[in-house]
Each structure stands twice: as structure tokens, then as C-alpha cells.
Amino acid sequence: MSELIIYHNNRCSKSRQTLQLLEQQGLSPSVIDYQITPPNHSELQTIIQQLGFSSARQLMRKGEAVYKELGLDEESVSEAQLIDAMVANPKLIERPIVCYQGKSVLGRPPENVLSLV
């Protein structure tokens, strides 16, 4: 992923702030509404690795009802199952995620993205 990409949710204030910060830097990222077009399994694996996370669970919104409904809080759930759950239920994915030149960061806080650009 050498292109500047933001996995964005316009209803999220942190996501909007992160996009605005990128634009203030004179950048025009490709904006992907991940609720409509979620990253696939392979893309999520890459993002998790680029973020330096040891588990897909670190990229999940554990407060979402579907997290508990699907039993994703169980230790027996595999990494592949966690990633598949995020693909099938993109609201589980923490946002925003910004990817650029083989690196990814979470825009929480939005200023985190400045380390990429």
C-alpha cells in the first residue's frame, strides 16, 4: 500500500478530524468508507501487522454489541476468526486507519497520522 488511504467513517468525529488534518497538510487520501467497502481478510492481516499489533483483537471495537453476540471475547477464538468477523461486521473495526507506504496508524488521536506523512 504505497498510496495514502484512510479507512473512514463519516459519522465518527475522530475519523472526520483525521481526514481534515490530512487535507490541511495538502494531502488527498483515497477515502474508503470501510462500512461499505471493508478491507478483505488479507488487507486486514497486513494492516494489523503494519500497526505492530500482536492480535487482531487490538483492532476491534470491543464495546460493539456484535462483539459479545459473536462470542469474540472468548480466548478460544482464532486470529483468522477475529479477522473474518471484522470483514463480515466492519463496525467492529477501530477507526480511522490511515495507510501509506507500507505503514499504518490509527487516527486516535488524529495527530498520530502525522508520523506517516
Is 99 among the catalytic positions?
no
Q: What is the pLDDT averaged over residues 84-109?
A: 96
| Residue 64 backbone dihedrals phi, psi, to 5 degrees | -70, 140
Catalytic residue among 3, 4, 8, 12: 12
pLDDT, tens only, 41-63: 999 999 999 999 999 999 999 99
Mean pLDDT of the chain: 95
Contacts of 4 (CB under 8 A, 6+ apart): 22, 27, 28, 29, 30, 98, 99, 100, 116, 117
pLDDT of residue 2: 66
Over pLDDT 90: what percentage of the chain? 97
Sketch out the chain's domains with CATH numbers: 5-115 (3.40.30.10)
